[in-house]
Amino acid sequence: MEPRELQRMCGRVSQLLAERLGARGHSLSERIASRHRSLPRKVRRAARQIAQAEAMIGAPRLARQLDEQALRQAYQTCVTYLEPLGAPMRFGRRLLDIAATVAFGCAVMAGVAFAFIR
């Protein structure tokens, strides 16, 4: 497995842990440790497997021993669980963005109409 691809996978899982669960820490291992009770056992194991692979990727001989298929499956397990979390909040933000855009458009149109009348 390419080191860049594994780094991307670790970064995505780490980002989702921080965004969706409020995990603290700088590395994936620290974020897993901070929220390990919030994660189901299956997802926790998958995230730990990815974190262990991240630690092994620095050594080329150890990196060759990594099971790519198992890592991809672990990544998919983590992302599948973490992506939908916080969906109501994202939906609310999206509605707020739409409302702000409409309000801004109305304000601009009112300004143009006022300038035209004047």
- pLDDT tens, the chain, 118 aa long: 788 898 999 999 999 999 888 889 999 999 999 988 889 999 999 999 999 998 888 887 887 888 899 999 999 999 999 988 766 776 777 888 999 999 999 999 999 999 999 8
Domain hosting residue 76, numbered range:
3-85
Structure tokens at 52: 């262990």
Whole-angstrom Cα distance, residue 113 to residue 118?
9
Instruction: Tell me: do 75 and 108 sit in the same domain.
Output: no
Whether the model clears a pTM of 0.75, i.e. scores above it, the answer is no
Whole-angstrom Cα distance, residue 16 to residue 117?
52
Instruction: Tell me: do 75 and 103 sit in the same domain.
Output: no
Instruction: Tell me: do 65 and 107 sit in the same domain.
Output: no
Whole-angstrom Cα distance, residue 29 to residue 50?
9
User: What is the total count of domains within the chain?
Assistant: 2
Instruction: Tell me: do 39 and 10 sit in the same domain.
Output: yes
DSSP 85: T
Whole-angstrom Cα distance, residue 90 to residue 86?
6
